[in-house]
Every structure is written in C-alpha cells, then in structure tokens.
Amino acid sequence: MASVAASAFFPVPSSASTTSSSSSTASAKPSSISLGKGPDSLDSRGLIAKSVWLWLRRLASEGQCPESHEGQRVQGRVENRQAKVEDGRSVLPSSSAPRTFYNQLPDWSVLLAAITTIFLAAEKQWTLIDWKRGGPDMLTDAFGLGKIIENGLIYRQNFSIRSYEIGADQTASIETLMNHLQETALNHVRCAGLLGNGFGSTPEMSKRNLIWVVTKMQVLVEHYPSWGDVIEVDTWAGGSGKNGMRRDWHVRDSQTGQTIMRASSNWVMMNKSTRKLSKFPEEVRAEIRPYFMDRVPIIDEDNRKLPKLDDDTADHVRSGLTPKWSDLDVNQHVNNVKYLGWILESAPISMLESHELASFTLEYRRECGRDGVLQSLTAVSADCSAGPAELPIECQHLLRLEGGSELVKGRTEWRPKKHGPFPAGSP
C-alpha cells in the first residue's frame, strides 16, 4: 500500500531511463540541476513529497521485515554489510545513499508517542492553571470531577452512587448525600485557591489557628437516587450575619436535571487550640468576600423553636454511643455527618420501614471529642407501631453527653415511602 501511495507522488522510472539518468547526473555539474525535475529536487513541493515518500517506504519495509531471535526488527532496506573482495582484499561496501535528515526520521511509533506526550502535558498545564476571578468558566480538576462556574462563585461536581452507598431501601443513604455536600464544599475552597493548612481553612485563618464549625444545617430531600445514578452537586457561599458564613447546595439528577436535594448551612470560626468561637477577622473577610454570592438562601430558614427534650418527654432513648477513631476529622472532632447518624439511632424501626426522611433541621450546640459517651433521644408525633401510616411524621431529637451537656438538637420530618417497605432478604 505504501508503494502504491508513493507512486501517486513519484512516477517510478523504468530501468533503462534510470540508468541513463544516473549516467547523465554523474556527468552534470551541480549548477545544472533543475528544480522540481526528480526525487532529489529541492523546491518546496519536492521536499514535502520526498519526505512523504521516504516515510512510506520506511513503513513498508518495516512492515515486511521479520523479527530476529533477539526480538529486534531486521530492517528490509539495510544495506548488505557482508565483505566484498576487490583487487584481492576484503572491503565493506559504502552506503548507497548519504545520511540525510530524511532517512534518519524517527519511527511512527516514536513520533506518535512524542505528540501524545506533548498534548497530555499541555492538557495538564491547562487544567491545573490557577483560576483567575473574572475569567471564563474552566475545568479545574484534571480528571473532570469538578469545575468552577458562574465566574468562580459556584462549584459543580458529579458523583456516581456506588453499591456500598445504598441502604435497605435500595437508594442512597442520607449520610451518603451529606458526605457529598461536604466534599464539594472543600473542593470549592481548594479550587478557588483559598485552601490553607487546615480542614477547609483559608491561609489567613491558618495563620490565626482558626477552623470552620457548622452551627445549623437544613436539608430538604425530594427523592433519593439509586445505585448507578449520577448526581450533580452545585455549592456556593455567602455572608451570614456579622460573624458567620452561609453555604448552600443544590443536588440534581445529572441526566434529567430533576432536583434531588437542597441544603443550607451556617458556619462560624473556632480557635483550634482553645476550642472557643472567634469573631470574623477582617483579613479573613477580605480574603473570602470576593467569593460570596449575593443570593437568597436556597431554603427558607426554619426559625421554629426546638422544644425541650429529656428522659420524660422522649419516646425512644439509645445510650452508650461512642465515637470511633474513623469518626474524627483532621481537626480532631467528630464529623458533623456522624451526628445525624447518631440521631437516627434512636428512631423507631417501624418508622424507618414505612417512611423515608424528607427534611431535617439540626442545631449544633457543642462539639464531641473522641472520649465522649452519648445518648440519643427521640420523640415521635404519631404511633408508628399501629400499622402502616399514610400521614407524614414529625420527630424531635436530642443528642447529648451522658453527663447532660447538649450537643445537637433537631427536628426531622418523614413521608410515607412510595414503594412501601422492602421485605427482609429482598435483593
């Protein structure tokens, strides 16, 4: 095929004409060589054509050559190096053609590898470039996991629901969705270039040994994704009062755009050493204010007062809950998602079987260390054991240390499951 392609550019002369041309060329002076009259011509068209011709010849010869027992390819056009006898002495033949740029071109595999390396390096430099505010939207993760949109004010990331993230209802657990919210928040800070030494802390916060702690979380779940679904999470930040920050999330189905969940949270700063709340330093405010989005909260704030809950008013109590080492984050306190799991520990099984969590509001009062022993208290607004309910259920929750200090107070709302409870042992 290479020979056929080459002949389209270079008519192959006959043997007679070749001999005649060779003798005439040998007797001619270099100045008498006319441009464009043979394969050795040096005009631009001849240079391009000759390079293509030589490459095709090389490919053809390499494709027809067997491999030696050492695994090396024997070049079909390599000259015969066996000794010849001239005038009674042994000599090696000289090369039939001078070593020029054309006959020393690299193999196609080497050339393609070089081109691929150049393109990959260029792509990496582009994807890892520092984002500048006011620039165009760009992909900020080299593997396509997340990107900055809306002039750098919103971070978007996709997640695929894994088999180990679904529960007995064959849908993603609420803890899975909450972990995705936390992941996108941290990635937003990192991709905006504001990640300091702490867990989500900015450089100015790190200088002052400050960390973020959540004080309130509101979540509305419209439906739960299933195994294999891909969800799209958008997150952005804004101001909240004099010493706080608000962060919102909008979770959608990446294929249909249907809303899966909306969430809003309030955050304040705490000194990592003293564990006391801190005011909002002006240096930190100036650092993050350009990334605040002027937008109303995605959820109307639930300002209803959470009722007092104790042993006398609680319907269900679960004691002896202790944090594991894996429950601690890098700031040496229990991750806020774990508190939700502890709260649900005291929810009645009958309600979990017939209803699904539709919304919740949590107010964080105090952090839990690794040596804490906790109690989970729940008060239910209806009798869940009286058969399958068709009405929503509201619950009040309290998570406290066994010594009595309140950690988290909350309210949850539950709706009947559309598909009904799954029987035990169902796939």
The alpha carbon of residue 237 and the mean position of all alpha carbons in its chain are separated, in whole angstroms, by: 20
Q: What is the DSSP string of 308-361?
A: P--TTT-SEEEEEE---GGGB-TTSSB-HHHHHHHHHTTS-HHHHHHEEEEEEE
Helix (H, G, I), strand (E, B) or coil at 187: helix
Distance CA 224, CA 207 (A): 41
Tokens found for residue 321: 């809950």
Active site residue 331: yes
Give me the residues paired with residue 271 across strands: 210
Q: How many CB atoms lie within 10 A of CB 149?
A: 14
**E strand segments, 330-392:** 355-364, 374-380
| Exposure b/e, 257-289, CB count within 10 A at least 16 = b | eeebbbbbbbbbbbebeeeeebebbeebeebbe
* DSSP H or E run through 288: helix 282-288
* Cα separation values, 341 from 173, 371, 376, Å: 10, 18, 10
**Residue 163 DSSP code:** G
Active site residue 303: no
The alpha carbon of residue 248 and the mean position of all alpha carbons in its chain are separated, in whole angstroms, by: 20
Q: Sign of the CA dihedral 128, 133, 136, 139?
A: positive
Tokens found for residue 36: 């464009």
Query: Which residue is catalytic, options 180, 188, 333, 355?
Result: 333
Query: Which residue is catalytic, options 187, 331, 335, 336?
Result: 331
Tokens found for residue 42: 């040096």
Query: Which residue is catalytic, options 191, 335, 368, 384?
Result: 368
Distance CA 409, CA 308 (A): 9
Give me the residues paired with residue 355 across strands: 416
Amino acid identity of residue 150, one-letter, is: E
Active site residue 368: yes
- In 3D space, the residue among 209, 177, 179, 214 whose CA is nearest the CA of residue 407 turns out to be 214
Phi, psi dihedrals of residue 110, rounded to the nearest 5° = -65, -40
- Residues annotated as part of the active site: 331, 333, 368
